[in-house]
Amino acid sequence: MISDRLNVTSAAIILFFFFTVTPSSAETVKYTYDDNYRLTRVEHVNWAQVEYQYDEVGNRTFKNLLYSKASINAISTNPNSAAGYTNGVNVIISNTCDAQNGTTCNQMKFSNDNLSWTTAEGHVSTRAWTLPSGDGTKTVYARFKDNLETWSDVYADTIILDTVRPTTTASPAGGTFSTAQTVTLLSNETTTIHYTVDGSTPTTSSPVYSGQLTISGTTTLKYLSIDLAGNEEAVKTETYIIPDRIGVFVIGTWYIDTTGSGTWNEGADRICMFGVGVTGAIPVAGDWNGTGYTKIGIYEDGTWYLDLNGSGAWEGEPIDKICYLGGGLTNAVPVTGDWDGLGITKIGVYDEGTWYMDTNGNGVWDGTPIDSMLSFDAGQIGATPVTGDWTGNGLTKIGVYKDGIWFLDTNGNGTWDGTPTDETYTFGIGLTGAIPVTGDWTGDGITKLGVYLDGTWYVDANGNGIWDGTPAGDGEYSFGGGLTGAIPVSGHW
């Protein structure tokens, strides 16, 4: 008989069968059966137990979940740490210990090695904990006791302790360059890099680096790296100095010194065809959409054709852009500038001492006070308008040039206040027919003076407003010689 073979002498004798199941958590499960082979208890070594009861005819009448699973999670106290990482030995242990059917968790204890345990203490959901020193993966162990005086099996969680700050470098490093630079930020470990390009100190709220940065003009790059553990690298700074470069326009053809050498390099510099066939076209240049690059355009009798996408060719709207400002003003001369300091070049015209400036940037004249009308010629009849950021504050200001004398609105109020409130310089005197040209020749953010005459450029590189010659600090270049009727242009090409 089966009962003889199993030596069953009483209904109270229970059979035990043990086996391991690993469908999800690789835990050992113990099953308990009575003498009639009916399941009476399922015990998980991680502390969940299910009890079954039956009536006299074998029908299961009761199922009771005595305990439920617990869990622990070691968490860094640094809000910048990623899950599973910490940069300090002091962490928080968060735990759950569910209570069901009258059972409660009332005690807990912890260990760093699963050998030496803390004294049992009252159960709470979070507890401060100190990891052993030394970088690497740490394991925290925990056990919980219920009101039935049963201790759970061991629960564990791992966390990586990393106390070393990351190291991040910029390539290329800052310096003086003749052309735009593509900058890569590279860390020696997984990091989040925050950066700024306006000189301000980066924080965790600053833009996150996600790929190469294009530096087209003089820029101060600052960056802050934070690794997975929350270690912050000290803010680093790289300054890229990229001066304005020169070029000339001849009847619709642009010759642009993209290499920044100050001379024409066939195959290396750039030729664009923009304005060919437009009689009387006057070249204009500016950063029409705030990308950091200067783009080209032409003005003809109040109509502006702007190379919005920077391709160097007219492709029509909406790829490129047509604006209307200056129509009906017979002697209008086009001018451009960042009138509001927002990083986008806007248009305007100068007509016999009066400036009409599209300050709202919609490409048409809306009248004042929406747009701006200024009176500035310093009493110089027939003067040529000039524009530039004379003080380096990010705003384009106005001025006029006549016969080698410059009158600059340095305080930016739009009127001539005389010196020393405004400034006057002599640069180009004696050069009959010289055309004024302005640019940030040294990349320091301040527009400086220059003149162009028959292919020769004289630029006030040291910014003192007078010609000191070379190598005394100014620059002389040969670019545009032999091109009859060439008009000088400059920009961050």
Instruction: Please tell me the distance from the alpha carbon of residue 24 to that of residue 318, in angstroms, as a whole number.
Output: 58
Name, in order, each residue with C-beta under 8 angstroms of 440's C-beta and a sequence gap of 6 or more: 217, 218, 243, 244, 389, 446, 447, 448
pTM: 0.70
DSSP 56-75: TTS-EEEEEEEE--EEEEEE
**Which residue, 275, 283, 273, is CA-closest to 486?**
283
The single-letter code of the amino acid at 127 is R
Instruction: Please tell me the distance from the alpha carbon of residue 281 to that of residue 95, in angstroms, as a whole number.
Output: 76
The single-letter code of the amino acid at 379 is G
336-341 — which CB contacts under 8 Å span 24+ positions?
336/284, 336/285, 336/286, 336/387, 336/396, 337/286, 337/387, 337/388, 337/396, 337/397, 337/398, 338/287, 338/389, 338/394, 338/395, 338/396, 339/372, 339/395, 339/396, 340/395, 341/393, 341/394, 341/395
Instruction: Please tell me the distance from the alpha carbon of residue 429 to that of residue 410, in angstroms, as a whole number.
Output: 21
User: Which pLDDT score is estimated for 58?
Assistant: 74
User: Which pLDDT score is estimated for 37?
Assistant: 72
Residue 10: count other Cβ atoms within 10 Å of its Cβ.
Answer: 7
Residues 239-277 have pLDDT tens digits of 999 999 999 999 999 999 999 999 999 999 999 999 999
Instruction: Please tell me the distance from the alpha carbon of residue 192 to that of residue 226, in angstroms, as a whole number.
Output: 5
User: Which pLDDT score is estimated for 150?
Assistant: 76
Lookup: tokens for 333 = 């001369």
Task: Find tokens 């065809």 and name the residue.
Answer: 273
Instruction: Please tell me the distance from the alpha carbon of residue 340 to that of residue 322, in angstroms, as a whole number.
Output: 21
Lookup: tokens for 32 = 């308990």
Residue 412 phi, psi (nearest 5) = 75, 20
Do residues 468 and 482 touch, judged by C-beta distance below 8 A?
no
Instruction: Please tell me the distance from the alpha carbon of residue 89 to that of residue 280, in angstroms, as a whole number.
Output: 75
Instruction: Please tell me the distance from the alpha carbon of residue 332 to that of residue 302, in angstroms, as a whole number.
Output: 8
**Which residue, 304, 292, 368, is CA-closest to 334?**
304
User: Which pLDDT score is estimated for 96?
Assistant: 86
**Which residue, 48, 148, 152, is CA-closest to 110?**
152
Do residues 176 and 146 touch, judged by C-beta distance below 8 A?
no
252 φψ region: left (φ > 0), alpha (ψ -120 to 50), beta (else): left
The radius of gyration of the chain's CA atoms, rounded to the nearest angstrom, is: 39
- CATH superfamily of the 245-491 domain: Tachylectin 2 (2.115.10.10)
Beta strands 270-273 and 168-171 are: unpaired
User: Which pLDDT score is estimated for 48?
Assistant: 58
In the chain, where are the structural domains located?
Answer: 2-67, 70-161, 168-241, 245-491
Instruction: Please tell me the distance from the alpha carbon of residue 407 to that of residue 169, in angstroms, as a whole number.
Output: 45
State which fold the 70-161 domain adopts: Immunoglobulin-like (2.60.40)
- Give every residue of the chain whose pLDDT is below 70, as ranges: 1-29, 41-52, 60-69, 99-103
Do residues 398 and 355 touch, judged by C-beta distance below 8 A?
yes
- Count the helices and strands in the chain (H runs, E runs): 1, 40
DSSP 139-163: EEEEEEEETTS-B---EEEEEEE--
Instruction: Please tell me the distance from the alpha carbon of residue 491 to that of residue 470, in angstroms, as a whole number.
Output: 22
Instruction: Please tell me the distance from the alpha carbon of residue 139 to that of residue 73, in angstroms, as a whole number.
Output: 10
